Structure formats: structure tokens, C-alpha cells
Structure 1
Amino acid sequence: MEPESYYFLEHRQDLWTFIRRNPEWYRYLTRDTERINEIDQLAKQYFGKTIPQRLEKAQHNIQLVRMLIDMAGAFRD
């Protein structure tokens, strides 16, 4: 693997973890270092860090809070 790619991965713990869980990426990055951008996008999807995934998680949390508020209001009556 190119030293620049290794340095980049060494300082990004999420990418390092992704590669350890998907070892075929060692081979891909060794052969073509330009795929570092591709692995970055795949790691974001894998760990749920894309914008749509974050919005879905926020909406889920809001629904949960609303449900808890409704349940608390039901106990007061």
C-alpha cells in the first residue's frame, strides 16, 4: 500500500475499522490508491453516517420523544 494511503487510513479510525471488517479492501487499495474516495463513501454508508441515514435516525428519535411525552401526559390525566 502506498505510504500516503496508509497515513490517511491511519488517521481515520472509521476507515481503519471498515477495512478490518472488509479485508478485501486491503487488496483494492494496494492495487489502486485512487479508490480511497470510494472506501470513504462506503464506510459512511456502513456506519450510517450519510445524511439520509442521519435524518432517519433523528426522525426516529423525535418520534420516540413524542411517544414518551404522550405517555407521560396520559398518566397525568
Structure 2
Amino acid sequence: MRPEIIRMFNENQEFRLFVRQHPQWYRTLSRDPSAVQALEKEANRFYGRTFPQRVEKMQSNLGLAMMMMEMLKMGQDTVAQTQETFNS
């Protein structure tokens, strides 16, 4: 493998781990060193760093937060009803 690719792996641990999990990239990069950009795209997709993946994650987190707010609101309503029952 070319020294610049080895240097890239030494500088970026995530790429190194990705290539260890997907060993076909060793062969691909040895034969075609210009495939580094394809490696970067594939690694970003694997680690969930593409724009659609980020948007989906944000929507999921927002949905979870909204559900928690609804649960808290329902809990407060239940406490208020219970207090009214005891006060009557």
C-alpha cells in the first residue's frame, strides 16, 4: 500500500477501523489509490454522517422529546385529578 494511504490511516483512526471491519478496502486501495474518496463516502455512510442520516437522527430525537413531554403532561394531569379527588 502506498505511504500516503498508510499515513491517512495513521492520522484518521476511524478510517483505519472501517477498513479493518471491511477488509476488501485493503485490496481496493492497493490496486487503485484514487479510491480514497469512495472510501471516505462509504465510511461516512457507515458511521451515519450523511445529511439524510443526520436529519433522520434529529427527527427521531425530536419525536422522543415530544413523547416525553406528553408523558410528563399526562402525569401532571393525573396528579391534579388525584388531588381534586382527595380534596372533595
Q: By the TM > 0.5 criterion, same fold?
A: yes
**Who wins on radius of gyration, i.e. which is larger?**
2
* Count, aligned residues: 77
SS state at 2:42 partner: helix
Query: 1 or 2 for the larger relative contact order (CA 8 Å, sep ≥6)?
Result: 1
Taking the aligned partners of 1:12 and 1:55, their CA distance within structure 2 comes to: 25
TM-score w.r.t. the length of structure 1 is: 0.96
Same amino acid, percent of matched pairs: 35
> Residue 48 of structure 1 corresponds to which residue in structure 2?
48
Between 1:19-28 and 1:4-13, the stretch displaced more is 4-13
TM-score w.r.t. the length of structure 2 is: 0.85
Structure 1, unpaired ranges of 5+: none
Q: How does 1:1-77 map to 2 (within 5 A)?
A: 1-77=1-77
Question: What RMSD over aligned residues (CA atoms) do the two structures have, in Å?
Answer: 0.7
